[in-house]
Amino acid sequence: MSTAGKVIKCKAAVLWEVKKPFSIEEVEVAPPKAHEVRIKMVASGVCRTDDHVATGSFVTPLPVIVGHEAAGIVESIGEGVTAVKPGDKVIPLVNPQCGKCSVCKHPEGNLCSKNDLSMPRGTMQDGTTRFTCKGKAINHFISTSTFTQYTVVDEISVAKIDPASPLEKVCLIGCAFSTGYGSAVQVAKVTPGSTCVVFGLGGVGLAVVMGCKAAGAARIIGVDTNKDKYAKAKQVGATECINPKDFKKPIHEVLIEMSHGGVDFSFEVVGRLDTMEAALACVQEAYGISVVVGVPPDSQNVSVNPMLLLTGRTWKGAILGGFKCKDTFPRLVSDFMAKKFSLDPLISHVLPFEKINEAFDLLRSGKSIRTVLRF
């Protein structure tokens, strides 16, 4: 029996309060309104940004259904939807692409003015929610909300992908993979034969290494304080790995020496101010490019000597690898299907959706790279 046009009762992980576990509840998911799409979830990765909501360091209206790195199948569509139809495989988009705002029309930049990231409202574009639990409206999260068997997103926040793609893998294209890979190929625009440095070899850092390799970098130096991260980094393309604790000199000086005058590209994928400064200082002074990928601690500033920039360095950053997601995600899925890169190195655990709190324990203890929840 078709569920189109009807309220769907299903299970979702609701975060009622910060610093509390997720609670698996029965929720009601309203049918999609005009220009909206209801999606049956198949797989969702667990990202640190979801945890930042749970700990209270990313503020978005509560109660909420978080989760944003996912893939699923369109269950039904609202009036006027043309981009997808029921049965299509899709990835929900943290960064919508309305196609009309100044950012969408600009060749660079991807933070569409319709995003719910910069000042989260926790709703659909029309300002209302589609989730109800125990008679209470439950908020959406950054245009996606994927820790639920069914979600509703705006048409501008969904990308149709290859019908043959394995959703339990390509869900990572929704965040971790694209964030890292895009930082190398789209934001830094790494060039063949170049020398790159990646600070932080977690899941996102590994995806940066993959991007540097795909772009043809000759040398990819991984920097991490945890030696256990080196084997996997080398497996995906790092040519050498170093530990700042092994040197008396500041790490940027070590890197300048190793590269005979400064590296071509550096990436900060830790989320610390001192590594951001080191990443900027280690690039070649006249043409080096440094990209901030990690989210810095709330309300803290770096202190940088402007001379570092005056000589010619470029300092940049971007959300989700700078990709215009609606245009790019289908292409990334095709590249994955064509075996241009593998997502397996990023997936350390696969768990049933109901074990979501276990997945967060794995993340917090540093035991997982990415856990994929299956529905």
Question: By the criterion CB under 6 A, which residues form the site for ligand COD?
Answer: 47-49, 94, 175, 179, 199-205, 223-226, 229, 244, 269-272, 275, 293-295, 319-320
Does residue 176 contact residue 45 with C-beta atoms inside 8 Å? Answer: yes
Choose which of 49, 60, 149, 178 interacts with Zn ion (CB under 5 A).
49
3 vs 225 by CB, closer to ligand COD? 225
> What type of residue is 228?
D
CB of 78 to ligand COD, least distance (A): 26
Residues in contact with Zn ion, shown as a per-residue x/- string from 96 to 115 under the rule CB under 5 A: --x--x--x-------x---
Using CB under 5 A, which of the segments 167-175, 254-262, 299-307, 349-357 binds Zn ion?
167-175
- Residue 98 contacts which entry, Zn ion, ligand COD, none (Cβ below 5-8 A, type-dependent): Zn ion
165 vs 179 by CB, closer to ligand COD? 179
CB of 271 to Zn ion, least distance (A): 12
132 vs 225 by CB, closer to ligand COD? 225
- Residue 104 contacts which entry, ligand COD, Zn ion, none (Cβ below 5-8 A, type-dependent): Zn ion
CB of 362 to Zn ion, least distance (A): 16
110 vs 259 by CB, closer to Zn ion? 110
- Residue 112 contacts which entry, Zn ion, ligand COD, none (Cβ below 5-8 A, type-dependent): Zn ion
Residue pointed to by tokens 């006027």? 80
> What type of residue is 359?
A
**169: its two tokens:** 């893998």
112 vs 124 by CB, closer to Zn ion? 112
**DSSP collapsed to 3 states, the chain:** CCCCCCCEEEEEEEECCCCCCCEEEEEEECCCCCCEEEEEEEEEECCHHHHHHHHCCCCCCCCECCCCEEEEEEEEECCCCCCCCCCCEEEECCCCCCCCCHHHHCCCCCCCCCCCCCCCCCCCCCCCCCEEECCEEEECCCCCCCCECEEEEEHHHEEECCCCCCHHHHHHHHCHHHHHHHHHHHHHCCCCCCEEEEECCCHHHHHHHHHHHHCCCCEEEEECCCHHHHHHHHHHCCCEEECHHHCCCCHHHHHHHHCCCCECEEEECCCCHHHHHHHHHCECCCCCEEEECCCCCCCCCCCCCCHHHHCCCEEEECCHHHCCHHHHHHHHHHHHHCCCCCCHHHEEEEEEHHHHHHHHHHHHCCCCCEEEEEC
- Residue 201 contacts which entry, Zn ion, ligand COD, none (Cβ below 5-8 A, type-dependent): ligand COD
- Residue 262 contacts which entry, Zn ion, ligand COD, none (Cβ below 5-8 A, type-dependent): none
76 vs 360 by CB, closer to ligand COD? 360
- Residue 63 contacts which entry, ligand COD, Zn ion, none (Cβ below 5-8 A, type-dependent): none
CB of 347 to Zn ion, least distance (A): 15
Q: How far, in Å, CA of 34 to CA of 36, rounded?
A: 6
Residues 174-213 close enough to bind Zn ion by CB under 5 A: 175
Does residue 205 contact residue 241 with C-beta atoms inside 8 Å? Answer: no
32 vs 120 by CB, closer to ligand COD? 120
Burial class (CB in 10 A: 0-12, 13-18, 19+), 228: exposed
Binding flag, residue 172, Zn ion (CB under 5 A): no
CB of 137 to ligand COD, least distance (A): 24
How many whole angstroms from its chain centre is CA 297?
A: 17
85 vs 364 by CB, closer to ligand COD? 364
- Residue 101 contacts which entry, ligand COD, Zn ion, none (Cβ below 5-8 A, type-dependent): Zn ion
CB of 48 to ligand COD, least distance (A): 5
Shortest Cβ contact with ligand COD: which residue?
202
CB of 250 to Zn ion, least distance (A): 31
Contacts with Zn ion, residue ranges (CB under 5 A): 47, 49, 98, 101, 104, 112, 175
